[in-house]
Structure 1
Amino acid sequence: MMTQNLKRQSINPPPTQAIYDHFHFSQATRVGDMIWVSGQVGVDAGMTPGKDVEEQSHLAFQALKHVLEAAGASLADVVELMTFHTELQGDMPAFAAVKDQYFPDRYPAWTAVGISQLAIPGLRVEIRAVAVAGCGDT
C-alpha cells in the first residue's frame, strides 16, 4: 500500500512570485492530490484588467490553467469552481459562454456570487477552484 504524500506545497509559478512575496499568499496550495487555487483574475502581464468581461474571463481561465499545470494538474481535474462577479446578472451569459469553452463537458460544481468590488479597480470577475490531480484522466 502506498502512502500518499500529505506534505503541504505552495504553488507559485515564476511570474507570480512577486504576488506571493508582497501579498503573502500562494496561487495554490497542494496537499496530496488536492489543490486549492486562489482567486484568478482577468489581468494581463502588466496587471491591467481586460477590456470587458469576456476578455477578463479568458485571462482568468488561462491563469487558472497555468497555476494548475504548475501544481501538476489540469482543468480536467477541477471539481469545484467559485466565481465572483461585480455585474453578476448582466455578465452571466458572456461569462458562462467563456466558461463552457474551458469546461465543455464533465462540468465541475459551480457557485457564482455577486459582489460589489474586487481587489483591482476595473475587475469584473474572479475565479477560484478546487482540483484533484489526476481525477480528470478517466
Structure 2
Amino acid sequence: MSGFKTYSYPGIGGWDRASGEISSDIDAEVDQAFENVETNLRHAGGKGWSQVYRVVTYSTDLKATHDRIVANYRRWMPDHQPAWTEVGVARLGLDTMHVEVEVEALDPEGAAAAKAAAEAEAAEVK
C-alpha cells in the first residue's frame, strides 16, 4: 500500500450538472467547470479544492478564459496554490466547450484511514 489516497479527474467541463447544457457565456462556463470539479471531488469522498495539488486547464480562447480561471483559483483555493499548467487548444470534446479542467488531489486523512484499516486487517490475519 502506498499510503496515499489520490483523486484524478481529467476533462471536467463547464456543463450544467442537471441539464448537461454548456452556457454560451464563457465566464459562466468556467465557473461551472470549477464547481463541477468541487462536486466530483466531494462525491468521491474528498474535501474538494483544498486537496488539489495539480491543475491543468485547456482553453480554446486563453484571452477570454484566463482572468476568470484566476478568479476561480482565488475563490476555490484561497489558502494554497497548486501547480497550474494553462494550455491553449484548437478544440475540445464538444463544439460548444471553451474550457476543460484536469485536477489531481491528495487526501491525507483518507490515506491515514486506509492505512489504519489495512493494518487492522493484517493484525487479524496474524
Same fold (TM over 0.5): yes
Equivalenced residues, count: 107
Task: Tell me the TM-score normalised to structure 2 length.
Answer: 0.76
Task: Tell me the TM-score normalised to structure 1 length.
Answer: 0.70
Runs of 4+ deviating beyond 6 Å: none
Which of 65-74 and 122-131 deviates more?
Answer: 65-74
Percent of aligned positions that are identical: 25
Considering only CA atoms, is the larger Rg found in Structure 1 or Structure 2? 2
Correspondent of 2:27 among 32, 49, 54: 54
Task: Give the whole-Å Cα distance in 1 for the aligned partners of 2:108 and 2:34.
Answer: 19
Do the aligned partners of 1:54 and 1:98 also contact (CA within 8 Å) in 2?
no
Correspondent of 2:77 among 77, 89, 103: 103
Structure 2: segments with no counterpart, 5+ residues: 110-126
Q: What secondary structure does 1:112 align onto?
A: strand
Which residue number in structure 2 is paired with residue 8 of structure 1? Answer: none
Correspondent of 1:42 among 1, 10, 14: 14
Task: Give the whole-Å Cα distance in 1 for the aligned partners of 2:26 and 2:73.
Answer: 12
Which residue number in structure 2 is paired with residue 125 of structure 1? Answer: 99
Structure 1: segments with no counterpart, 5+ residues: 6-31
Task: Give the whole-Å Cα distance in 1 for the aligned partners of 2:43 and 2:75.
Answer: 21
Query: What pairs up with 1:75-90 in 2 under 5 angstroms?
Result: 75-90=49-64
Q: How far does residue 39 in structure 1 lie from its aligned partner after superposition?
A: 1.3
What are the superposed Cα offsets for residues 95-133 of structure 1, whole Å, 9 maximum, x if unpaired? 211232111221111000000111112211100100001
Do the aligned partners of 1:53 and 1:95 also contact (CA within 8 Å) in 2?
no
Of structures 1 and 2, the one with the larger relative CO (CA 8 A, separation 6+) is 2
Q: How far does residue 52 in structure 1 lie from its aligned partner after superposition?
A: 1.9
Give the residue type in structure 1 aligned to 2:79: D
Q: 1:4–1:86: structure 2 CA closer, same or farther, 3 Å change rule?
A: same
Kindly report the root-mean-square deviation, in angstroms, between the aligned alpha carbons of the 2 structures.
Answer: 1.8
Q: How far does residue 48 in structure 1 lie from its aligned partner after superposition?
A: 1.3
Do the aligned partners of 1:42 and 1:59 also contact (CA within 8 Å) in 2?
yes
Structure with the higher fraction of residues in helix conformation: 2
